[in-house]
Amino acid sequence: MLQNLKREIQKTRDALMAARGQTTPAKEFGATLLMAVVGLHVTEARIRKTQNFEERRRLINEFNRQRNAIEKGIQALRKSRWESSKDPGERRKRAMS
């Protein structure tokens, strides 16, 4: 199970870096996403260290909520890149009609 969490963190981090490479997020938004990934690492470490099953279950739910929030942020980054790349063509279409 812990290997799966590490793999999930790696996939999320890779997706964030790919999205950041394709577009330049706002300064605060990019920093927030990066800090959220750091928080994901901290939560994973806490899951690894705990011996209490109830605590582990709570931390796993917290991990999943954090990961879902990060993925929504990555989707917003990708969507903004797609919309910004769509705008110049739309302007040309309007100018030609």
Indicate the pLDDT class of residue 82, thresholds 50, 70 and 90: low
Looking at every residue in the chain, the average pLDDT score rounds to: 84
In 3-state terms, what secondary structure has residue 1?
A: coil
Is residue 30 pLDDT above 80, yes or no? yes
How far from the centroid of its chain's Cα atoms is residue 74's Cα? 5
Q: What does the pLDDT look like over 62-77, one tens digit per residue?
A: 999 999 999 999 998 8
Amino acid letter for position 10: Q
The stretch 50-56 carries a mean pLDDT of 95
Record the pTM. Answer: 0.76
